[in-house]
Amino acid sequence: MALVGPLLMALLFGVIEMGGLMKSHSSASHSVAMGARVAGIAGNDALADQSILASMSEETSGIPMGDIEYVIIWRALATGEAVPAACANAVTGGVVNTSSLGVYDGGVSSAGACNVYVKPGQPGGALDMATGAAAQPAAYYFGCSGPSDTAAAVKVDCKWAATNRKVAISPRGAAGNSIYADHLGVAIGSTHRYYTGFFGSTKTITGRAVVLLEPRIYSVEDSN
């Protein structure tokens, strides 16, 4: 009988912790799936990142906003691709970024380019910016055309400008090569805090999804 109590407590703690962990994983998975779905439709709309982040905000109810460490939106090459190292390395400091952070696309939507949003769930972070809960309207923070944009200093999506994203397909582009729409990846990282400490104090939760942007143009020439 002396062993029954500790075993029951261990079982109870395990059920509680696993339930919380599954909730965090589910929220992360659903948020990137929704973000990718919206990204595919938004294509090269100037406010595409704003739409992506706003949709993700609706799916993160299982994660405390302050525990979302980052959201990364990057130019991928194929489904199943991991977050580029340079983009992951841009997540530093643990402080909300109020200017653009990530890897510049060179103005041509180059592979590996990304917009990085650090601590997006914090007050005034990217999720507040995207949903209109920040000090200024969403268009104040999003819709950058690149580093030379006159409002680049206050916009957070300048590294991979949405208007540079390729949404045309063609069987005969430059030098006779086929042209394809871009792949876009969405990733989230968060800190899960265990309730009882039975399995430790925290665990990092990540989720990612990659989608092919829906083609908007079909041409026999390079329309990108």
Cβ(33)–Cβ(87) under 8 Å?
Answer: no
Q: In degrees rounded to 5, what are phi and psi of residue 38?
A: -65, -40
Alpha helix segments (H runs only) across 83-219? 85-89, 126-131, 138-141
**What pLDDT does residue 169 have?**
83
**What pLDDT does residue 173 have?**
57
60-98 per-position pLDDT tens digit: 988 999 999 999 999 999 999 999 999 999 998 889 999
168-222 per-position pLDDT tens digit: 887 765 555 678 899 999 999 999 988 887 778 899 999 999 999 999 877 665 5
**Dihedral sign computed on CA atoms, order 56, 57, 62, 64:** positive
The single residue listed with the structure tokens 């006159």 is 150
The single residue listed with the structure tokens 């990659």 is 210
**Could you tell me the pTM of the whole model?**
0.90
Interior CA angle at 40 toward 168 and 81, to 5°?
A: 95
